[in-house]
Amino acid sequence: MEPAQRERTPFSDIDGLPTEMSTMVLDALIEMGRHPEIRRVRRAGFDALRPALGARLLDAGSGNGDVARELAAEVGPRGEVIALDQSAALTAAAIAQHDDSNVDYVTGDVTALDLPDDSVDGVWCERVLQHVEDPDRAIAELRRVTRPGGRICLVDTDWESLLFDGMPTKLQKTLMTYVGGHFLPPGRDMGRTLRRRLVAAGLNSLTATPVTCLFGSPDSAGVVLPMVNPRVPADAWHTPPALRDEWLTEVAAAGARGDFLAVLTIWVVAGTV
């Protein structure tokens, strides 16, 4: 992918976006976290991480902090969670939503963590590495800060698994060649590469679970898939306007007929340090 395209991926640099866009991104993150299919992915992830009572966990790339607060409930009053995100705007938004959970919110870069070696018992890192320039460096950092015996759970999308039905196939292919560079992050295959990356990083007791999300209507899909969401501003598409309009018309028609379908696999991969 061209560097210019990397810079345009919204989740790579949320603080660099106009306020209106960063607010949209925050709202989208909150909505995504409530989607039943994302809830299903997270349940698989919690099973893989096995957070223990009293544990000190790191949520790396914590977004609006919802998962960090859920993890805090898992580790109980004697445990704690560090919610770390690169974006100052998202960290501020996460702090604004703070309840009485034992969560400490910090800004930081997952590829250069300001944490001592062996300082956490486990790590959660959801849909972050697809946006990071050097994901293996991030994994090395996550490993460095996790104590021996601690568990790291990575959750990431395989954007190349995204398939639709209900809209004309040729239109779908044309649309994807245009929108891929903007809507989709640099690491489009990140999900299915996670297991290999954890093998290379020397983790053991690996588990790898592909969770295929099913979206049976445009409204449901639009929460997770920007290219079927008509609320995404037209100038964010980088497609000929006629192509966007034709695609969204077909998406709406499939929705009205009841035969719209989209599938996307998100991987949950965990290992022990």
Q: What is the DSSP string of 24-87?
A: HHHHHHHHHHHSHHHHHHHHHHHHHH-PPTT-EEEEET-TTSHHHHHHHHHH-TT-EEEEEES-
Query: Other CB atoms closer than 10 Å to residue 222's CB: what's the count?
Result: 21
Write the binding mask 18 to 47 for ligand SAM: x where contact by CB under 6 A, - elsewhere.
Answer: -----------x---x--------------
Rounded to a whole number of angstroms, the minimum distance from the CB of residue 156 to ligand SAM is 10
Question: How many residues of this chain bind ligand SAM (CB under 6 A)?
Answer: 20
- State yes or no: residue 128 binds ligand SAM (CB under 6 A): yes
- State yes or no: residue 109 binds ligand SAM (CB under 6 A): yes
From 41, 82, 83, 132, residue interacting with ligand SAM (rule: CB under 6 A)? 132
Q: Would you say 63 or 255 has its CB closer to ligand SAM?
A: 63
Strands 80-85 and 103-107: parallel
Q: What is the DSSP string of 104-139?
A: EEEE-BTTB--S-TT-EEEEEEES-GGG-S-HHHHH
Q: Could you tell me if 58 and 81 are in contact, meaning their C-beta atoms sit under 8 angstroms apart?
A: yes
Q: Would you say 95 or 256 has its CB closer to ligand SAM?
A: 95
Rounded to a whole number of angstroms, the minimum distance from the CB of residue 105 to ligand SAM is 12
Q: Would you say 188 or 253 has its CB closer to ligand SAM?
A: 188
For residue 10, the 8-state DSSP code is: G
- State yes or no: residue 220 binds ligand SAM (CB under 6 A): no
Rounded to a whole number of angstroms, the minimum distance from the CB of residue 79 to ligand SAM is 19
- State yes or no: residue 146 binds ligand SAM (CB under 6 A): no
Q: Residue 244 contacts by C-beta under 8 Å, 6 or more apart in sequence?
A: 234, 237
From 121, 126, 141, 158, residue interacting with ligand SAM (rule: CB under 6 A)? 126
- State yes or no: residue 127 binds ligand SAM (CB under 6 A): yes
Dihedral pair phi/psi, residue 239, rounded to 5°: -125, 160
Q: Would you say 109 or 189 has its CB closer to ligand SAM?
A: 109
Q: How many CA atoms lie within 13 A of 84 on its CB side?
A: 21
Alpha carbon distance 264, 215 (integer Å): 9
Retrieve residue 111's tokens.
């590829």
Write the binding mask 60 to 99 for ligand SAM: x where contact by CB under 6 A, - elsewhere.
Answer: -xxx---x-----------------xxx--x---------
From 41, 110, 198, 270, residue interacting with ligand SAM (rule: CB under 6 A)? 110
Q: Would you say 25 or 248 has its CB closer to ligand SAM?
A: 25
Helix (H) or strand (E) holding 157: strand 146-165
Rounded to a whole number of angstroms, the minimum distance from the CB of residue 110 to ligand SAM is 4
Q: Which amino acid, residue 195?
A: R
Q: What does the binding site for ligand SAM look like in residue numbers (CB under 6 A)? A: 11, 14, 29, 33, 61-63, 67, 85-87, 90, 109-111, 126-128, 131-132
